[in-house]
A and B are shown apart, each in its own frame.
Chain A
Amino acid sequence: MTVVPTVALTGVTKRFRGTAALDDVHLTLGPGITGLLGPNGAGKTTLLRITATVLTPGAGEVVLFGTRPAGPEQLAAVRRRLGYLPQEMGHPRGFTGFGFVDYMAVLKEWTDRAARHAEVRRVLELVDLDGVAARRVSALSGGQRRRLGLAQALLGDPDLLLLDEPTTGVDPGQRVTLRQVLSRAGERSTVLLSTHQTEDVAALCDRVVVLDGGRVRFDGAVADLVATAAGRVWLADAPDPAARASWRTGTGRHRVVGQAAPAGAEPAEPTLEDAYLLLLGERARTTGVAA
């Protein structure tokens, strides 16, 4: 039996004023959590928008759940099965947290009031916001608003969950809560998670896609990307200006990521961040990865 992938992007290209935000991207996604890494301007948000059907590609084909969402009916059918958290998620004025998610639930065709309210309560509890649901959105912290955005994306347990930097502004304790929510979602749904947080990808994802300049630079298992840094990370007593990156750690020793071992250095266990730095080189350093 042929398994239909949730997402199949073929040769997807998108240009803005002549500059390619995405350039001939091929990507197939099925159930599980895929991390999307890349420097600012790499095309991550454009890729998520196109997959979420809110942006049309300039060229190439987008197939979701085996359907090309061309007409209004196919588009609505696809959108019934997806949850989307945009990078910038504002909230209409005057809503409480519950009221905002309720508003989004109406847009997601939850017309029965009792069932809708039960679903709103469920997703607010999932992201640990049930205690502040009666507060105005304007009175919530940045991290709470981000979790509110995630709550609306989780409405109806979507088969495809597209999240653009869901952990931005979220404190470490809440980040663990969100990881639990996302890992449960990834057991049955397809989750594409765009982030600058390599540790979120390492903790949650079984697969990672690295975008740079609109092109896919790496697509594979997280362990495989980490393995590319094996033998290229050391702990040394002094910084190494010739290395791709080196910094003083909390122990007083210097972590060195590069091609050649500095004198007297000892090998260190590579992380996903090390592998990312080595893959993207200067671009990763200048645009930055939040550690």
Chain B
Amino acid sequence: MQYGVRAVRDRTDAELIQECLDGHSEAWDFLVHRYSRLIYSIPFKWGLQREDAKEIYQSVWLDCFQELHSLRDINRLQAWLVRIAIRKCYRFSTNKRSRPEDVEIVETDHASEDPSEGLIARLDREQLIRMSIAKLTERCQQVIKALFFEDPFPGYATIAARLGLSSNSIGFTRDRCLERLGKLLEELGYEH
């Protein structure tokens, strides 16, 4: 089967991993993009700086690449990536405090625990939102990103102008996009 017959965004992680191993670099690209923001956000949430975040990000993906053969059978790649990223953040911050002796005691257990009041649960929910937004139409993605991610809030008239809509119809479009996003989140198992 030629690569790309089915939309790559609909492929499961396991399918993408197998395709990576089969030499399809597009599969690796998509896998990286799927979880890129999730992984890059973790060092910042851990309180690390940008330079550290860059190093940890690359290190997590290098580990993922090197473990592809064993990750084929994993149920939740996302959980694996988060666990590895948190371990690296922990080790990084511990080393920076020059207290390597702590690693022996805590390192193995740390990642399986909730390290900072629900960080893992929050990361999961944020990632579901990213994945749901990625499944929206281009137009709805623009609306949702303007609604939630722009600071200051651009206002409905601006959003309407960007989309080439009248100010009167932006309310309908906004509601439709919010509704669609909510349904996608439900389908992906978002729980609150």
B is a partner of A: no
State the A residues within 8 Å of B (CB).
none
State the B residues within 8 Å of A (CB).
none
